[in-house]
Structure 1
Amino acid sequence: MNPPAEMSPPVATETQSMTSDPSHLGALGNNVPLKAAPPNTTGCSWLVVLAAVAASLSGLMLGYELGLTSGVLLQLRGVLSLSCREQELLVGSLLLGCLVISMAGGWGLDRYGRRWAMLLSGGLVAGGTLLLLLPASLTTLSLGRAVVGMGTALSGTAACMYIAEIAPRERRGLLVTLYELMVVVGVLLGFGCSYTFSALPNGWRYTFGLVLLPAILQAAALFLLPPSPRFLVARGDSERAKEVLALLRGMASREAVEEELRDIQAGLKEEAEHGFRELFSDKANLRWRLLMGVALVFLQQTTGQPNLLSYASPLLRSVGFHSDAAANLASTGFGVVKVVGTVPAVLLVDRVGPKSFLCVGAVAMGMSLVTLGVVTLQSHTHLTSLCQSPVGLNHTYQGQNLNTPSSGLDYGSFKLITPPPGESQWNGSDPAEALRTKKEDAGMGSGVRGRGHMKWISLVSLLVYVAAFSFSLGPMVYVVLSEIFPTGIRGKAVSVVSAVNWATNLLMSMSFLSATERIGVPNVMFLYATMSFVLLVFVLLLIPETQGRTLEQISKELAKKKQLKVRFWRRVQPQETLFTIHKTPELSTLTPQPLTGFA
């Protein structure tokens, strides 16, 4: 992302309007109740619902591209005999495109509008997909994935902003949630299509090509939809914005439309008063808040979710699912769990609060990763690399020609000298290992039952991990991000945090296979588990409880909140403390015990 990545416009109060949100990362921030706003009498016409559904197809495309990665990777590494680094490049190219557009796409959104940005992104997705359908090579596949990544990220940014800006205040959270639901549905479809086409010759081409359907459908719908009223106001066309608002609000009174127009104008004026440099200043504790947001998305990605999503099928093969079809089918369960796990987050976030979800999710993720690490430690997984081709180089035939369904050739005449596809172990150069694998698949051999139990324990652990992420870190990180920054600078702050999110997602995905090759799968799982518990401590100590508070109350408290500064590289004097607490008169005094030593 998930997401890398992962991993994603903020909530608006009655005087707030949306700013540049670089990715889908801000989508779930709108689940937060608008407690500061009085009941609204504006309407919600059928046009708003249609526009929200059409824009949410951007989430479907992004989720689909994320979900298909692991299954397609199993096929392509046999077709192209990809090394570890080449597989990481193929996976990371999509995230690289997302990172590039997250840093450069905001300008185009503000200049040309949300609808035209979604149309442009549809063209990028179509162009990148056509590159993927060309004769297979690492260069064309990586370039095509990067272009598709740019398109899906730009589309997600524009879609979230567009929905938030056309939706009435009391329906904004519900309508923007459609985007996140589309993302997880897209992930499910990506896993499912990878499994469906895995047995077909060149099945990966069909999997890549199916994304053209929602891209074309969205482009056709966008020509019929109105522009964003907020964009029109920003361009100085208030009269046209008023007409669009009246169309979107249906039966709403003229006074209600004019009041909403004034709110948009006030929000834009407030945003213009805040510069980008303020994010890095001590004003209203903004620098501390920015560091909090950056640390939160960094920890979100370093718990391993983008890797376990992108490399789900190879990982499942390594723990006992000894065929591409079996591994792809098992990984399809991840998509189902992601959809189911998102539902309680949407329904209960207003009652429970994001902090509680984050804590429970971090514990569940940490425990499931520890279990997965222990199981893989007891199996052969830690002795082999996840990135090795199912066929070794010393076999009498090349995997590109005979060992993959994509080749379309019959391997029957070779079955006496080599194992058929799906029965070869990762390192096919060892005949004894291949024979052991065949016995495992047939249910024979010593210890097979134990290893059979291990693969199911591994699958359950991964499903628990995915479920925990789906109801906690997946949506709740961006709920918190939408709440901890002031209204006028929130869009700029989320832009910075989003770029860090994509960069961390890219770094994690580009190093996963190399890390498993160097230190083994169990140690990687234990490392991710450690980061989950670090995240738990971080949330408990530093993330504020926002449940039941308005955005203004949260921002005011964070602006006054005491900071914890740690001095480094200087000896602490006898009457000095290691920590300096900056207090405000409204807060109670905290006097730490004197410490001596090096700080």
Structure 2
Amino acid sequence: MVEDSKISFLSKLSFFSSIGGLLFGYDTGVVSGALLLVTQEFNLSTIEQELIVTSTIAFAALFSLAAGLLNARLGRRLTIIISSFLFATGSVFMAASSGFTSLLIGRAIIGTGLGISSMSIPLYLSECAPPEIRGKIVTVNNLSITGGQLLAALIDGAFSKVPDGWRWMLGLAVVPAVIQFFGFIFLMPESPRYMIEHETYYEAKEVLIKIRSEEDVDEELDEMQREVELNKNANWRDLFKTRNGRHATFIGCCLQLFQQLVGINTVMYYSATIIYMSGMVTDPSSAIWLAALTASVNFGATLIGLFSIERIGRRLLALVSVAGSAACLLMLSGGFYWNDSLFCPKTYASWMPLLGMILYLFFFASGMGPVPWAVNSEIYPHSCREAGIALSTTVNWLSNCIISLTFLSLLEAVGTAGGFLVYFIFGLLAFLIIFLFLPETKGVALEDIAEVLEQGWIVPCKSSCNQDEHDLDVLVDDTDD
């Protein structure tokens, strides 16, 4: 049985760390509703709308790469404190915006905080959490992201008819940012791995005792010390020097790349706009409230991922998720094709895009939402873990930026149906990459994952199918229970 003190510490770890995920989700999700109102108030063009969305993403991409250096120099704890300060500052700046330029600057400040936080929080959690629940703890962060998106959708709906409601939508993120800022200053310790790197062994042991069985602490501490000593002079180039480093970098970056290329953030950022385009509703406020429905599905499906990731594993969860997401993207494409057809009344097939979005979010959030973050938090060699997570997070934000910046322009060029068909093709490619290259890392200690990767780049078909079949049996048994 886990001692009450350990449960208390893990609860604090999950709570204050997950605020970073909440802010991530809120600040990326709130723009869906706020964009409709800001566009009306400032008469924004298509490119200005895309810039409002992608300015945050571009700065997140830039500073997620810089976050690797910050974590190595300043530590995980102080880096997260800095990101909290940026979240609070950006929220106040956006709420006080007087036009397009000032709003763009506020979104850029938020993006800086997002980039730092999105790299630092998974790293901090993976280094503090026990191996047997590491995937679940990291997935709590992803649950918080979708929870933040749901909260943003509800706030959007609540303030959609309030004068200057968009200011409240964009400014309320200051509250959780301040809570995380003071929580990490006064209540949260530094990562034990970072402490060992800087030879504060006694403090590292005290932190480990709070979250491990006491008899396991000395052994784990010795293992960490050996690994740190072995990799003392390592740097980011080591990602590409060894076979397992190259494999980890390839699969980690591919997971983050395809998480975005299957279109998730076009659905989240532009959900109200997509619903409005479908013809189901004729006023922005109704579209904003329907977007809240899709956000609630996103949150609920992430709960499924939270309880499944340590039961059925990362690999099978990702395969089922990306296959279902691709099928739903095809449904979205078909819905808009029939809706735009000259042979159909305008609202005849309007329900299909909404249903396609709901099913898409269900499949995506239960697997491809949490799996890339969980895998990237654990797959890299310790010598270059900060660099690996920073690189893969940067790939995530850059691909997010490209997809979000081109979404409305893509729809203008090839039509709404054609746009979602492009994302469907990316979904098929993602399934192939995951099937061939992603090994199972469920329950494997961070120090032992290198041995899994050394077995080869392509996952052996027989062993992978046997593992997937076993994990599927576990899923069926859980469902029967």
| Match runs of 1:411-450 below 5 Å | none
Residues 319 and 434, structure 2, Cα contact 8 Å, conserved in 1: yes
Residues 191 and 332, structure 1, Cα contact 8 Å, conserved in 2: yes
Q: Which residue of 2 aligns with 1:52?
A: 14
Partner deviation per Cα, 1:249-279 (whole Å, 9 max, x = no partner): 59x64x6544443333233224435432232
Relative to the length of structure 1, the TM-score reads 0.70
Q: Which residue of 2 aligns with 1:322?
A: 282
Q: Distance in 2 between matches of 1:466 and 1:186?
A: 15
Deviation at 1:245, TM superposition (A): 4.3
Q: Distance in 2 between matches of 1:360 and 1:172?
A: 21
- 1:287 and 2:250 aligned: no
Residues 79 and 116, structure 2, Cα contact 8 Å, conserved in 1: yes
Residues 253 and 395, structure 2, Cα contact 8 Å, conserved in 1: yes
Q: Which residue of 1 aligns with 2:332?
A: 372
The structure with the larger Rg is 1
For 2:371, which of 476, 482, 490 is the aligned residue?
Answer: 476
Q: Which residue of 2 aligns with 1:160?
A: 122
Partner deviation per Cα, 1:136-155 (whole Å, 9 max, x = no partner): 31111111011012113323
Q: Which residue of 1 aligns with 2:321?
A: 361
C-alpha distance 491-40 of structure 1, shift in aligned 2 (>3 A): farther
Single out whichever of 234-243 and 146-155 deviates more from structure 2. Answer: 234-243
Q: Which residue of 2 aligns with 1:241?
A: 204
For 1:143, which of 101, 105, 124 is the aligned residue?
Answer: 105
Partner deviation per Cα, 1:3-54 (whole Å, 9 max, x = no partner): xxxxxxxxxxxxxxxxxxxxxxxxxxxxxxxxxxxx9999715234224312
Q: Report how many aligned residue pairs link the two structures.
A: 457
Residues 140 and 306, structure 2, Cα contact 8 Å, conserved in 1: no
Deviation at 1:207, TM superposition (A): 0.6
Partner deviation per Cα, 1:72-115 (whole Å, 9 max, x = no partner): 11111111111111111000011122112111122222322333
The letter for the 2-side match of 1:235 is: H
Partner deviation per Cα, 1:395-439 (whole Å, 9 max, x = no partner): xxxxxxxxxxxxxxxxxxxxxxxxxxxxxxxxxxxxxxxxxxxxx
Partner deviation per Cα, 1:155-202 (whole Å, 9 max, x = no partner): 343333333444445454443332222111101001111111111111
Partner deviation per Cα, 1:311-356 (whole Å, 9 max, x = no partner): 1111110001211111111111121111111122222223323222
The letter for the 2-side match of 1:504 is: S
C-alpha distance 548-155 of structure 1, shift in aligned 2 (>3 A): closer
Deviation at 1:461, TM superposition (A): 0.6
Q: Distance in 2 between matches of 1:107 and 1:552?
A: 22
C-alpha distance 122-340 of structure 1, shift in aligned 2 (>3 A): same
Q: Which residue of 2 aligns with 1:536?
A: 431
For 2:80, which of 115, 118, 121 is the aligned residue?
Answer: 118
The letter for the 2-side match of 1:498 is: T
Q: Distance in 2 between matches of 1:376 and 1:517?
A: 13
Return the structure number with greater helix share: 2
Single out whichever of 527-536 and 358-367 deviates more from structure 2. Answer: 358-367
Q: Distance in 2 between matches of 1:503 and 1:314?
A: 23
Residues 339 and 347, structure 2, Cα contact 8 Å, conserved in 1: no
For 1:76, which of 11, 16, 38 is the aligned residue?
Answer: 38
Single out whichever of 116-125 and 284-293 deviates more from structure 2. Answer: 284-293
- 1:303 and 2:262 aligned: yes
C-alpha distance 285-161 of structure 1, shift in aligned 2 (>3 A): closer
The letter for the 1-side match of 2:361 is: V
The letter for the 1-side match of 2:272 is: S
C-alpha distance 478-171 of structure 1, shift in aligned 2 (>3 A): closer
C-alpha distance 114-297 of structure 1, shift in aligned 2 (>3 A): closer
Q: Which residue of 2 aligns with 1:231?
A: 194
Single out whichever of 45-54 and 125-134 deviates more from structure 2. Answer: 45-54
Q: Distance in 2 between matches of 1:343 and 1:481?
A: 20
Q: Which residue of 1 aligns with 2:401?
A: 506
Relative to the length of structure 2, the TM-score reads 0.86
Q: Distance in 1 between matches of 2:221 and 2:3?
A: 14
Q: Which residue of 2 aligns with 1:344?
A: 304
Residues 40 and 170, structure 1, Cα contact 8 Å, conserved in 2: no
Residues 30 and 149, structure 2, Cα contact 8 Å, conserved in 1: yes
In structure 1, runs of 5+ residues without a counterpart are: 1-38, 384-445, 565-599
Residues 62 and 153, structure 1, Cα contact 8 Å, conserved in 2: no
